[in-house]
Amino acid sequence: MLERTLQDLRTRGRRLLVPYIMAGVEADWLSLVELVVERGADAVEIGIPFSDPSMDGPVIQRAGETALARGATPLSVLSELRQQSFGVPIVVMTYYNIFHHMGDDRAIGELRRSGVDGVIIPDLPFEEGARWRELAARENLETVQLISPATSDERIDEILSVAEGFVYGVGRMAVTGEQVELAATATAIAARIRPRTSLPVLIGIGISNGAQARSVVGAGADGVVVGSALMRRLLDGESPDALAAFLDELRSALDDA
């Protein structure tokens, strides 16, 4: 569903917006998912909190710590997700330790029963992920691949040979976080990936406002993933109206690109 939905939207000329929400950051975090869908999200990335998040910057770490302190667990998050449908694809992002502890077969089954369409597992190396990808594919769970600015052209092609859902272009060589100025690597990685695949290409990590979203789309990306800029506003106590206004800024920038 993830790849088909995003491909269909792209065919109709729509630029893609995928906001990130940390599960369990608030008691009513599912209402945040509803909000981003109402404001034009084409898919939603749901973070499952983990105690040792190697890719998460300060904002996402703080959101994860808040969720863990509230008692969020992988199974509680998936149980909550199971209670609701949102009308757009759901992509879970977390670390492989969680799935390894659960067992691949059980983890994939729990994800699918919870309505999850795709997964992002940043610490599962490409070379060691074949078994996971095979098991997930059998259950129509799409495993999204990440490509960083340091990835060679040869390795990009190798990763793209197994990519599904969409391609997550990493905008800068750093952990997640807002940036005042868009890193040059964000537009460069979009331009490098675009001619190599027919899959939707989305750029994340460091996309902080509408102007930056428009820039990466101008470089060839089909859309953006936005996490820290949204979660920081939430953690700072901004109102739902303020969060909606930020999402509207992103949506308008992409629609006008």
Give the residue numbers marked as catalytic.
Answer: 45, 56
CA angle 235, 238, 241 (to 5 degrees): 135
Q: Report the 3 state secondary structure along the chain.
A: CHHHHHHHHHHCCCCEEEEEEECCCCCCHHHHHHHHHHCCCCCEEEECCCCCCCCCCHHHHHHHHHHHHCCCCHHHHHHHHHCCCCCCCEEEECCHHHHHHHCHHHHHHHHHHCCCCEEECCCCCHHHCHHHHHHHHHCCCEEEEEECCCCCHHHHHHHHCCCCCCEEEECCCCCCCCCCCCCHHHHHHHHHHHHHCCCCEEEECCCCCHHHHHHHHHCCCCEEEECHHHHHHHHCCCCHHHHHHHHHHHHHHHHHC
